Structures are given as C-alpha cells and as structure tokens.
Amino acid sequence: MFDLDDLESALALIHRFVPPTPQYAWPLLAARAGCEVWLKHENHLPTGAFKVRGGLVALARLARERPDLAGIISATRGNHGQSLAFAGARFGIPVTIVVPHGNAVEKNRAMRAFGAELIEAGEDFDAARAEAERLAAERNLLFVPSFACDLVLGVATYALEFFRTTPALDVVYVPIGLGSGICGLIRTRDLLGLDTEIVGVQAAGADAYARSFAAGRIVTTERADTFADGMATRIPDPEAFAIIRAGAARIVTVTDDEIAEAIRALWTDTHNLAEGAGAAAFAALMQERAKLSGRRAGAILCGGNIDLSVFRHRVLGAPMPA
C-alpha cells in the first residue's frame, strides 16, 4: 500500500488536471438527519465522479514506465471507464472499455466522448470483466482492473482533501462498488492518525461485501439487482475485502427505494444531482440517523452520472413511455 508522501505526490499530480472538490455542511440535510452533515462533492469533477483520480495516477505511471504500450482495456459500468478514457487522452494511451449490455446510455456516450473504444458484452459487470480479460490477450492490450493500488492511491486523494479541510468527522459513510473508494478512505484516515468511523454502504440487491463482512470471508452472489449501477457487483475483490474487514466499522445495506429518496433529498436540499451510488451514503446516514444525534457525519457524493430516463422513471416516478 502507499504512504503519506505517495498520497501527497498523487494529489499534486491530480491537481495538474482537475481542481479539488468542495465539501459543504448543508443545513437542510442536517435538519433531515438531526446531526451535522458534510458532503464531499466528487460529482463536481469533469467526469462527474471520483474515479478520475485513480485513472490519472494509474495512467501517469504507465506513461512513464511503459511508453511503448499498445493500449489498455478494462470493464466498467461507467465511472471507471470514463476515468481511464479521460486520463488516456491526456497521456496518449489508447483505451478500450467493455460494458455489459443495457449499460447506462449516457455513461456510454461519455466514455466515447472522452475517446474510448466501447464494446458491449455480458449481462452484468462481472461478465463484462471476463470478456475484457479475454480481449486483452487477443489484442495484446494491458488489462486494467477496477481495483488496484494505483487506483486506490488516486481516489484516496479525495479523502485527504476531505479530512484536511473539514472539522473532525465522527463518522463517514461511503458506497462500495469494488472497493477503491472505501479503501482509500480507510488508508488515509489511518495515515493521518484519525479515529473517524468509516461505514461502507451497499445496495440491498447487490450486497456481496456486506455478506462477506458478516461472514468474515468472501461471499459471492448470483445477481446484482439495483438501479445504482456503480454498486452492482457480485464478486468482492480479496485485497479490498481484507482492507475493509480490518478498517471499516460496519457495512449498511440500503434499498433502492431508500436510494431514490436520498437522490430526491439531495436534489431538493442542495440542488446536486446524484447517481444511485452517489446517493447511497446519504441514504445509509438517514437510515442510522437515530444514533447520530450530536455527531458530525460525512457522506461521499461519489458521482452524479445518472441517466435521465432512470432519474425520471425510477426516482421521480414518471410513468414509463408506452
């Protein structure tokens, strides 16, 4: 893993390309939750999500160490792919991304706009990942996983910004997809010597990490049923799970209805649009609000890339077109 000097260097690299994101204490959210609520606004980044930080760190290293690389390939539901495409364009590395069939239309458009070649394969993220690994060998491309040390180092920079510019936080809620965000938070907290409680959040229909945390061992699921596509994974990463098991206080699961309500609350109270994973942390905070009175709580609004159709029909309840 990385040390504080590595983290400082990563932050300096990232700030060459994207600015720090803000963190605000929102009074209307505090009134809902009955405690002080701080949001870390990773939805303000140019890709609309936190993962661009990891993409920049990972591809900067590849550009230095493998200048003859033919290109990279990875799998994603959207934000990881956008981060790699954004970074690839800046470091001159061709990027191919595999997404599952039926992936978010607007995330697909964004990945192409950032310069990625997009391939649709498989019915969910884990099937798309298997196809990306196969194509890596076939096309002589480097497979970049969604969880790796450079990616965690990059995304951990949001935790460094958050902890250094926010009054001491008692607890921070963070969504878990494959685990880079929560692992970055845990590592940064420990490097800074803080005692902030870190709580992971998963969708109830995609709860492999929550089941694994409860069992004390890796547990996979057959399906990942949630409209919060950034958390729709079935197979925990072993390295990520080890970090989460050692450093997280607990993992909370939230229903899709709770996530939708959190999206509505965030829009109403802050005028920020969150995707499903981006709202999940606040949904968990609200679920546990009875135990937060008098405490200072943080929530990671990790992304705002929600498709308009999902927002209209799943969140606002507009009728589906005939």
Q: Give the closest residue to 309 by CA, choosing from 49, 79, 107.
A: 107
| pLDDT band for position 193 (cuts 50, 70, 90) | very high
| pLDDT band for position 201 (cuts 50, 70, 90) | very high
% of residues, the chain, pLDDT over 90? 90
Environment class of residue 218 by beta-carbon count within 10 Å: exposed (0-12), middle (13-18) or buried (19+)? middle
Q: Give the closest residue to 267 by CA, choosing from 316, 204, 200, 300.
A: 316
- Residue 107: which H helix or E strand, with range? helix 105-113
Question: What pLDDT sits at residue 105?
Answer: 87
- Residue 173: which H helix or E strand, with range? strand 171-175
CB-CB neighbours of 42 under 10 Å: 28
Question: What pLDDT sits at residue 73?
Answer: 98
Assigned token pair, 140: 């002589």
* Residue 174 near residue 43 (C-beta atoms within 8 A): no
Assigned token pair, 75: 């799998």
Q: Within a domain: residue 322?
A: no
Q: How far is CA 27 from the centre of its chain?
A: 25
* Residues 10, 76 within the same domain: no
* Residues 10, 34 within the same domain: yes
Q: Give the closest residue to 271 by CA, choosing from 244, 245, 304.
A: 304
* Residues 127, 194 within the same domain: no
- Residue 318 pLDDT exceeds 80: no
* Residues 92, 29 within the same domain: no
Distances (CA, A) of 11 to 56, 66, 155, 211: 10, 22, 9, 33
Task: Find all residues with CB under 8 Å of 183, minimum gap 6, and list them.
Answer: 147, 152, 156, 240, 243, 244, 247
* Residue 215 near residue 154 (C-beta atoms within 8 A): no
CA distance 142 to 144: 6
Domain hosting residue 113, numbered range: 52-143
pTM as predicted: 0.94
Q: How large is the C-alpha radius of gyration of the chain?
A: 18
Q: Within a domain: residue 106?
A: yes
Assigned token pair, 46: 């140019």
The 10s digit of each residue's pLDDT in 121-177 is 999 888 999 999 999 999 999 999 989 999 999 999 999 999 999 999 999 999 999
* Residues 154, 233 within the same domain: yes
Instruction: Give me the mean pLDDT over the 257-277 stretch.
Output: 97
Overall domain count for the chain: 2
45: domain CATH number is 3.40.50.1100
CA distance 86 to 89: 6
Residue with tokens 């204490």: 25
| pLDDT band for position 308 (cuts 50, 70, 90) | confident
* Residues 17, 164 within the same domain: yes
* Residues 92, 25 within the same domain: no
Q: Within a domain: residue 229?
A: yes
